[in-house]
């Protein structure tokens, strides 16, 4: 078997086109344009590149973006003051605080201070709580929401599937498990204390690998025909690889490229969340 591609770049393109259409229709009805405020603390070149890419994605669909650069020496209090200012700014629909922030910053305080309606990353506990409870109105975090949309748009049935997630972080594993549970998958969440990981992964119709361990998932651990989502970004010999060992593509029925699978979906969901944040705050 050679796996079909779960093409994150192609589905992300669809999402951008849908948001661009919605933004322009809203503008035609006289609605204000959504605006993404991006905050970058410090001068890490990779983080700066990510922020620029996200802003470019925003502008490409007609969402305005503004840039806030703060020095690496910024304190938690100084960043809190910036967040409070952006919370109050009527023109700002969504606030993105690029992570990782310098060590002296208490990110928990920062995330708790965000206006939940402007929390386009879906990190605020109110949003995480609404998603966990399966209640409407919560902002879904970008990577998990992107994974689920990629599966749905590719025609992979989530309802009734045995979904196995390897990794239980608050960023990826836990919320993707909740989003699939909400769509009626039977979900197993694995982590470093899981006994006999392979016995779980081999039962997976949908396998989400988010452990951040290169080559953790060997082809013997994959059920023939399974949809396999490789979330991780590990760097081996200067090259980005995920968690999958060689030959998984011969066993899986569906597979994300890495890169080119989950990463583009994550950025597309940030843009979708920014548009939806504006609609929620100021319906037109």
> Which residues are part of the catalytic machinery?
54, 98, 121
Q: Which is nearer to ligand NAP, 102 or 212 (CB)?
A: 212
Contact 260, 7 (CB under 8 A): yes
CA 205 – CA 11 distance, rounded (Å): 21
Nearest Cα residue to 161 out of 200, 201, 206, 203: 206
CA 72 – CA 204 distance, rounded (Å): 44
Q: Which is nearer to ligand NAP, 32 or 260 (CB)?
A: 260
Burial-class residue 199 by CB neighbours within 10 Å (0-12, 13-18, 19+): exposed
Q: Which is nearer to ligand NAP, 156 or 171 (CB)?
A: 171
Q: Which is nearer to ligand NAP, 48 or 279 (CB)?
A: 48
Question: Which residues sit at the interface with ligand NAP, rule CB under 6 A?
Answer: 143, 166-169, 171-173, 190-194, 197, 210-213, 216, 231-234, 262-263, 266
Beta strands in the chain (DSSP E): 4-5, 35-41, 64-70, 94-97, 162-166, 186-190, 206-209, 227-230, 234-236, 239-241, 254-255
CA 276 – CA 234 distance, rounded (Å): 31
Q: How far is the CB of 267 from ligand NAP (least distance, A)?
A: 8
Q: How far is the CB of 102 from ligand NAP (least distance, A)?
A: 18
Burial-class residue 133 by CB neighbours within 10 Å (0-12, 13-18, 19+): exposed
Q: Which two tokens stand for residue 164?
A: 């196995």
Q: Which two tokens stand for residue 175?
A: 């919320």
Q: How far is the CB of 82 from ligand NAP (least distance, A)?
A: 24
Q: How far is the CB of 198 from ligand NAP (least distance, A)?
A: 10
Q: Which is nearer to ligand NAP, 74 or 143 (CB)?
A: 143
CA 134 – CA 139 distance, rounded (Å): 11
């Amino acid at each position: 078997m050679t796996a079909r591609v779960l093409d994150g770049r192609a589905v992300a393109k669809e999402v951008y086109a849908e948001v661009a259409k919605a933004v322009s229709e809203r503008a035609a009805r006289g609605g204000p344009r959504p605006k993404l405020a991006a905050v970058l603390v410090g001068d890490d070149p990779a983080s700066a590149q990510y922020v620029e890419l996200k802003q470019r994605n925003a502008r490409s669909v007609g969402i305005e973006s503004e840039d806030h650069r703060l020095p690496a020496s910024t304190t938690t209090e100084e960043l809190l003051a910036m967040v409070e200012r952006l919370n109050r700014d009527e023109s700002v629909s969504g606030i993105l605080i690029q992570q990782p922030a310098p060590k002296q910053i208490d990110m928990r305080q920062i995330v708790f201070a965000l206006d939940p309606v402007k929390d386009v990353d879906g990190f605020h506990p109110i949003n995480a709580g609404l998603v966990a409870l399966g209640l409407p109105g919560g902002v879904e975090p970008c990577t998990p929401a992107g994974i689920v949309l990629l599966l749905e748009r590719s025609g992979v049935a989530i309802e009734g599937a045995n979904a196995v997630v390897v990794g239980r972080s608050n960023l990826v594993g836990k919320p993707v498990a909740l989003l699939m549970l909400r769509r009626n998958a039977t979900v197993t969440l694995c982590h470093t204390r899981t006994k006999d990981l392979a016995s779980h992964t081999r039962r997976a119709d949908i396998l989400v690998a988010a452990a951040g361990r290169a080559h953790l998932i060997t082809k013997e651990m994959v059920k023939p025909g399974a949809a396999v989502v490789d979330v991780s970004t590990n760097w081996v010999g200067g090259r980005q690889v995920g968690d999958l060992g060689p030959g998984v593509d011969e066993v899986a029925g569906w597979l994300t490229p890495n890169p080119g699978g989950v990463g583009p979906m994550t950025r597309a969901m940030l843009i979708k969340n920014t548009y939806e944040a504006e609609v929620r705050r100021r319906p037109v």
